């Protein structure tokens, strides 16, 4: 889905785990290593995971893929446990406010449903399908992990 100057990618996933556990998986460096990055997802080495989980706090997920170091960075805009997390998303020099991820978690009778919305500048439109596939795969691995 796109809008004027923006590209919107939306992915939803149900979890059998409690909303708190799913929310915390976004902010726990040990959990991030298990579902967002690493060998379970792609051929890469995790070099560093640093998280300052507060509004205005930042994160840095440094990985090495095919001999290239990629630093996934962002700033937390909202941290409302266990229902909403909003952060900017960028890779190294391409970081900034152009890309924002919103994670919303709704409780269910057994577990919860997570909806992730990634809003990107239109200059990244060609990456929308790849972005959707990437988040879908990560949430599938998260479901196996939590």
Taking only the tens place, the pLDDT of each residue in 4-59 is 689 999 999 999 999 999 999 999 999 999 999 887 888 898 999 999 999 999 99
Locate 80 and state its tokens.
């409302």
Every domain of the chain and the residues it spans: 2-145
pLDDT at 38: 83
| Lowest-confidence region among 42-46, 78-82, 137-141, 142-146 | 42-46
- Indicate the average pLDDT of the chain: 92
Sequence-distant (≥ 6) Cβ neighbours of residue 45 within 8 angstroms: 38, 63, 64
Fold of 2-145: Alpha-D-Glucose-1,6-Bisphosphate; Chain A, domain 4 (3.30.530)
Express as a percent the part of the chain with pLDDT over 70.
94
Quick one: average pLDDT of 68-88? Answer: 96
- Quick check: 143 pLDDT over 80? yes
The pLDDT of residue 5: 85
pTM confidence score: 0.92
């Amino acid at each position: 889905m796109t809008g004027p100057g923006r590209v919107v990618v939306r992915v939803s996933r149900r979890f059998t785990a409690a909303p708190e556990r799913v929310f915390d998986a976004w902010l726990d460096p040990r959990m991030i290593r298990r579902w967002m990055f690493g060998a379970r997802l792609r051929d890469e080495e995790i070099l560093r995971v640093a998280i300052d989980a507060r509004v205005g706090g930042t994160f840095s997920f440094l990985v090495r893929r095919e001999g290239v170091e990629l630093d996934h960075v962002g700033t937390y805009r909202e941290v409302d446990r266990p229902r909403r997390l909003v952060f900017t998303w960028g890779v190294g020099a391409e970081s900034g406010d152009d890309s924002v991820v919103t994670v919303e978690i709704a409780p269910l009778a057994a577990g919860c449903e997570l909806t992730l919305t990634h809003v990107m500048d239109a200059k990244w439109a060609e990456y929308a399908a790849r972005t959707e596939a990437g988040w879908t795969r990560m949430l599938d691995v998260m479901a196996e992990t939590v």
